Structure 1
Amino acid sequence: MKATIKQVAQRAGVSVATVSYVLNGAGVVTDETRRRVLDAIAELNYQPQYAARSMRGRSHTLGVTLPSHPGRLAEPALAEVLSGLADAAAVRGYFLLLATAGADQDETELCLSLARSRRVDGLVLLDMLVDDPRAQALAAAGIPHVCAGPPPAGVDSPSVVIDMRAAAVDAVRHLLSLGHRRIGLIQLPSDLAVSESIVEGYRQALTDAGLPFDPTLVVESGRTEEDGYQAMTELLATSRAPTAVLAGSDELAFGAMHALNDARLIVGRDVALVGLDDLPLAAHVNPPLTAVRQPRRAQGQQLAILLDDAIMKRNASLRMVTLSARLIIRRSSGSAWRAAEGVN
């Protein structure tokens, strides 16, 4: 039997009107009361019928929220996702609303506020976290949304996932095929869901090759070129530095390149390097970067399709779309030079 709003109110110890305020963004509710109501909604699996509202009440707008990371909107990877998302949304009669959380604003509250105010019909969640509070809160409140990455454990949110575990396996196997046995990893922040997938793929490829996992070869980093520089410097300072490195993103790989150059090491000869994005710049750095090409535009298109389905209550059985990445081999991994020297 489906839970009712009255049962939610009883579980949270509040009135039915207060539950309604939390769900619709009306009235004045303290943070503690809002938390109790959302917890009760999650515990009872209460599902408000947001998508059953009349067409007249719809905004025909999809919301995309972003954290307040400096320069985030200028990132080429984000632009690819938004391009595919905008095109597919327009075909289905939607506008896009891009909202950035302020420095002191909680992104989860921003998502809930946009939905409660009915400025958006549904939300696209980027930069998924391992335990993402946005997906948890939106699922608990029954607000249509879709995740650009794996949703948190126990949350059945629709999602469009690029298989970065398989991408990392392919990248490490490429380096193994060139004779490398000490392969480092510059890891994205561990709270990002994609970081967990990359580490799993990195370890799986080593296991398949009969090699042990060496934690001294893994450095958790940030997201910028400067972070990649610092991480590569740390790897070079180890007692047995890696001969090849997989970077969790092209930005990190570009920073690693600068660190190797400053250390008077030649990328592709002294240390092989692979990135996990294939941004447009990857083909034009020196040497060109071997990278795993993520189908970000296709991901954006699929996000719009799944969110439209969630809003309109269509294709309820289709909860996840998985896209494959492709390894693009260039000189930074040393394959061309090694082939010329007869090294396999």
Structure 2
Amino acid sequence: MQATIKEVAQHAGVSTTTVSYVLNGTGTVTEETRRRVMDAVAELNYQPRHAARSLRGRSHTIGLTVSGPAGRLADPVVAELIAGLGDAAAQRGYYLLVAPVGEDQPEADLCLSLARTGRVDGLVLLDMQVDDPRALALSEAGVPHVCAGPPPAGSESRAAMVDSRSAAEMATRHLLGLGHRRIGLIQLPSELAESEPRYQGYADALAAAGLEVDPQLIVEAGRAEEDGYQAMSELLSAAERPTAVLACSDELAFGAMHALYDAGLAVGQDVSLVGFDDTPLAAHTHPPLTAVRQPRRALGEQLAALLDDAVTGKKETPHRVTLDARLMVRRSTGPPRRTLASDQ
């Protein structure tokens, strides 16, 4: 016999209203309460009316959970990816449901709730982490999903990603080609799956040039502009500062650029700087920022195609798609000062 919401509430020791809050992503409940409700839903195999209706056919909706600070959807990196995802999903007959993650809400729980209540046929995961709990939970539950970035090691999750390792190597080779030998790296947080490939690309380029990685030239930062400022300030405080820096996001590069200004240094002359994303603002900084351009719209389109394949059970199609980036060279990079002097 089909379990009822009242039985779920009794099993979890909460009210039916609280169960509705958890399943609909509304109201305010504690993490402990949310977990009790979700455990009860799983144990009783409860399917709300919405889910029961969707069993007659699919919901034809794909879900995208968005965490982070307020205004994240206005971030050009996210907005362009969503544009590609939404258009490609619509062409395949899907709606796109965007669900912000609550401040104290585990994102994996929200993903499972959206799937178990039948609101979505599958989910797109952004900001992939090493051993990402969302991908692991959805894989265990058999929920179709696709990762926007490297999936957890050993998982069978479908994924679309940019070849960040090759992109970082290309950016570092550009700086080496200009004559730089002391090249700093402002790295993404190590828990992000994109962090290690970008470091590896940086290291690959140095090794190919016969240079060793200098740990004093690498700073792990956060993700905000202020983190880039602090990271560049740390690099500039070294006994022998770098003549060029690769920042692993445009946000970090913008902060680094401000730190150089405040230190009285000219970007592209005293210190060269490369960003990673090529957001619209990159072409309008002073000087314009050399940056790795990621094909964000194409990435969104690939995510929609892969998720559609997962939802419809197509096993013969590729599970992983990797896209190439390109380097947009602008005036924030140039030869080191000593090279300029020797040419005069």
Counterpart contact for 1:274–1:289, Cα < 8 Å: yes
Q: List aligned pairs for 1:190-201, cutoff 5 A.
A: 190-201=190-201
- Give the corresponding residue for 2:122: 122
1:90 aligns with 2:90: yes
Q: Per-residue displacement from partner, 1:55-82 (whole Å, max 9, x unpaired)?
A: 7331111100011323322211001100
Q: Per-residue displacement from partner, 1:94-152 (whole Å, max 9, x unpaired)?
A: 11110111111000000000000000000000000011000000011110000001110
Distance 1:187 1:144, change over 3 A: same
- Give the corresponding residue for 2:76: 76
Higher mean C-alpha deviation, range 126-135 or range 55-64 = 55-64
- Give the corresponding residue for 1:221: 221
In 1, the alpha carbon distance for the partners of 2:66 and 2:34 equals 24
In 2, the alpha carbon distance for the partners of 1:244 and 1:120 equals 46
Counterpart contact for 1:273–1:289, Cα < 8 Å: yes
Higher mean C-alpha deviation, range 316-325 or range 295-304 = 316-325
- Give the corresponding residue for 2:297: 297
Tell me, what secondary structure is at the counterpart of 1:160?
strand
In 2, the alpha carbon distance for the partners of 1:194 and 1:167 equals 12
Q: List aligned pairs for 1:221-240, cutoff 5 A.
A: 221-240=221-240
- Give the corresponding residue for 1:156: 156
- Give the corresponding residue for 2:46: none
- Give the corresponding residue for 1:146: 146
- Give the corresponding residue for 2:131: 131
Q: Per-residue displacement from partner, 1:139-173 (whole Å, max 9, x unpaired)?
A: 11110000001110111100001000000000000
- Give the corresponding residue for 1:45: none
Q: List aligned pairs for 1:1-344, cutoff 5 A.
A: 31=35, 56-334=56-334
Tell me, what secondary structure is at the counterpart of 1:240?
coil
Could you tell me which runs of 5 or more consecutive residues in structure 1 were left unpaired when the two chains were aligned: 1-24, 39-52
In 1, the alpha carbon distance for the partners of 2:130 and 2:327 equals 25
Letter of the 2:178 counterpart: L
Could you tell me which runs of 5 or more consecutive residues in structure 2 were left unpaired when the two chains were aligned: 1-22, 24-32, 43-52
Q: Per-residue displacement from partner, 1:208-263 (whole Å, max 9, x unpaired)?
A: 11101111111111111111111111110111110000001011111111100110
Q: Per-residue displacement from partner, 1:261-298 (whole Å, max 9, x unpaired)?
A: 11010000000000011111111111010011000000
Counterpart contact for 2:188–2:248, Cα < 8 Å: yes
Identity of aligned residues (%): 63
In 2, the alpha carbon distance for the partners of 1:168 and 1:212 equals 16
Distance 1:80 1:341, change over 3 A: farther
Structure 1 stretches of 4+ moved >2 Å: 29-35, 53-57, 68-71, 335-343
TM-score (norm 2): 0.83
